[in-house]
Amino acid sequence: MAKKAKKKVAAKAATRSKKTKKAIAVKSVKARKPAAKKAPRKAARRSAAEVAKLRKAVIAGLKSGKSAETVAKQLGISRPYLYRLKSNG
């Protein structure tokens, strides 16, 4: 049975045209674009002093009439975290 399998594989390889072989060779050689660099993430934990500063900035920003989304973008935090700081203050 091993001889029959080898014959089938050899027969399939021979049926490829020159264009197909060239296309396969070109695809394997094409250079890929480098991946876009992501911004480095901040540490997951903030000190108590940083949290207190953020809380004051959140309250001041919201009292001034700015939208929550604008304040969050300015401070570099997410909106859910902004609401959490607001409610714990």
The pLDDT assigned to 88 comes to 82
43 in any annotated domain: no
Model confidence at 72, pLDDT cuts 50, 70, 90, reads very high
Q: In the predicted model, is pLDDT for residue 53 greater than 80? A: yes
**What would you report as the CA-atom Rg of the chain, rounded to the nearest whole angstrom?**
30
Q: What percent of the chain has pLDDT over 70?
A: 57
26 in any annotated domain: no
Q: In the predicted model, is pLDDT for residue 4 greater than 80? A: no
The pLDDT assigned to 34 comes to 72
60 in any annotated domain: yes
Q: Measuring CA to CA, which residue among 2, 80, 8 is closest to residue 72?
A: 80
79 in any annotated domain: yes
Number of domains the chain contains: 1
80 in any annotated domain: yes
Domain range for 65: 49-88
Model confidence at 36, pLDDT cuts 50, 70, 90, reads confident
